[in-house]
Amino acid sequence: MGNPSGAVADVNQPTNYLMEKPQYALSYHRDQGKPNWVSWYLAPKWVGSAPRQNDFRADNTLPAGWYQVSTSSYSGSGFDRGHNCPSADRTSSVPDNSATFLMTNMIPQSPTNNQQTWAALENYGRTLIDAGNEVYIIMGSYGKGGNGVIRANGQPDRPVYAETIDQGRIQVPKRIWKVLVVLPQGTNDISRVNASTRIIAIDTPNDNGMTTNWGQYRTTVDAIEAATGLDLLSALPTSVQQVVEAQVDNGPTN
């Protein structure tokens, strides 16, 4: 559905570096140690029986000399290694699932946001596929500073606020957003998007004071664009963008 930041695979663009993988595409911000956005396509062909690989690891396809966020970079921070493209959206093969565990696909995400609110939204996205749809998804984050929690065995939870982790190498976002374009399974997808197409736009705080009810965080694509400076759904005709990006979804949430 487009390249919302005009990212390019050019080492001279370290804050908007395009990485295209078979499973998803992303714009990487070297100085923040996380993606600006990640974009992927969800359809029945991507869903299978491959188990969760859990093989979090550095992405060695980053340009030479760039810092590679590692699996331990989040340790003790109070934030989850939050997937952008979810593991469960890529279960057609072991390599596809494994690709979602590259650290370039992660953001520091509050445990409640990741494990409850976001998990519920991700699960709902997959039910749309079961219902005969295909979904174009883009997720990103912006701002600085989030509220996590440190959980130690036998100790009370300890809330923690952080603007960076990993000795300043990774920026903790303040807000996390996602846009889903829902279409009945078919062909010529871009030409089929119109005023009646369901588009779900979500913008949440990165903190633990949240519920599983992701629907309360619905907003417009226009609002996310205003907050981030991105041009989402840029592959659509301008006339279509103007209509669909101004709408707040009011569809079901489960």
The label of the residue with tokens 């709902």 reads 124
Among this protein's residues, is 83 annotated catalytic? yes
Task: Name the DSSP class of 123.
Answer: H
Catalytic residue selected from 81, 83, 175, 178? 83
CA distances from 126 to 87, 90, 91, 109, 133 (A): 12, 11, 12, 21, 9
The label of the residue with tokens 């500073």 reads 145
Task: Provide the token pair at 78.
Answer: 């109070």
- By CB neighbour count within 10 A (0-12 exposed, 13-18 middle, 19+ buried), where does 22 fall? exposed
Q: Which residues contact 3 (CB under 8 A, 6 or more apart)?
A: 18, 25, 27, 234
Q: Which residues contact 186 (CB under 8 A, 6 or more apart)?
A: 134, 192
Does 105 belong to an annotated binding site? no
Catalytic residues: 83
List, as residue ranges, the binding site for Mg(2+).
114
List, as residue ranges, the binding site.
114
